[in-house]
Amino acid sequence: MDFTGKTAIITGAASGIGKAIAIMFADHGANVVIADIEEEKGFETEEEIKRKKKNAIFIKTDVKNEASIKQLFQTAAKTFGQIDILVNNAGISKFLPFMEMTSEQWDEVIDTNLKSVFLSSKEAVQYMKEDGGRIINISSTRAFMSEPNTEAYSASKGGIIALTHALARTLSPNRIFVNSISPGWIQTENYDSLKEIDHKQHLSNRVGKPEDVARCCLFLCDPKNDFITAENIILDGGMTRKMIYEE
């Protein structure tokens, strides 16, 4: 896959899954925009990509703030021209006791994880030109299954899946294809510290890595893959298909 000349904005790309997505797009030729609230790590990621003689820019962004998102797109377009790919990856996973959770805490999770997808996608449409574009939204298998006290996070991720097919419908005339990915357990740090039992919970016999999500993003943005839209891909090594009374 060659993304030379294309520009990809990845939110939450200073660390974790987003960073892996940014690096993989850059490795495949794309101009990469790292949008994150964390300044130090954001600039580090920019430097890491530039050391490989690839194009990247960090733009400090708070994805729950509309003015900040407008600024992100303006700066990105000024730097690289048109925008071709948006990956809405930024998110927070705050699990709070249901009966103690305040409405402010609920709003913080919903605004960061879900409202951000609405705001960024709306902005992206204005910068994606006639040949269209791709939007990938990072949801979670927690949209489909739960542990206790995960209400706000689960609601935000379920909302992303619904928003994805709504956007795909609305933006179809613009040739903008919109899909979501629902990762399961993706270990972003200290992969070597995982235990055998962690891996065995998966039909794949291993826990996921950020690069697994990145490869899926590239697949969905491959210009040849223009028959996939409004879809959600569960990327969990088969964990949500495993019956719990099995060995």
Residues that contact ligand NAI, how many (by CB under 6 A): 26
Does residue number 207 form part of the binding site for ligand NAI (CB under 6 A)? no
* Shortest distance in whole angstroms from residue 52 CB to ligand NAI: 20
144 sits near ligand NAI (criterion: CB under 6 A): no
- With CB under 6 A as the contact rule, which of the stretches 47-55, 77-85, 182-190, 225-233 interacts with ligand NAI? 182-190
Beta pairing class for 232-235 and 7-11: unpaired
Sign, CA torsion 240/10/34/215: positive
Q: How are strands ordered across the β-sheet holding 56-60?
A: 56-60, 31-36, 7-11, 85-88, 133-138, 176-183, 232-235
At 83, give phi and psi (nearest 5°).
-105, 135
Among residues 62, 84, 123, 212, the one that binds ligand NAI under rule CB under 6 A: 62
If binding is defined by CB under 6 A, does position 21 make contact with ligand NAI?
Answer: no
- Among residue numbers 37 through 56, which ones bind ligand NAI (CB under 6 A)? 37-38
Token pair 């890595």: residue:
209
> CA end-to-end span of the chain, whole Å?
40
Among 149, 172, 174, 188, binds ligand NAI (CB under 6 A): 188
- Compare residues 174 and 187 and give the one whose CB is closer to ligand NAI: 187
Piece in contact with ligand NAI (CB under 6 A), picked from 48-56, 61-69, 126-134, 168-176: 61-69
Active site residue 191: no
Interface characters, 63-102, with ligand NAI (x: CB under 6 A): xx------------------------xxxxx---------
CA distance 223 to 1: 9
Burial of 40 (0-12, 13-18, 19+ CB in 10 A): exposed
Site for ligand NAI in 98-127 (CB under 6 A): 112
Q: Read off the amino acid at residue 88.
A: N
Residue number with the smallest Cβ distance to ligand NAI: 16
Measured distance CA(151)–CA(140) in Å, rounded: 13
Minimum separation from the CB atom of position 137 to ligand NAI (A): 9
Task: Tell me which residues are annotated as active site.
Answer: 153
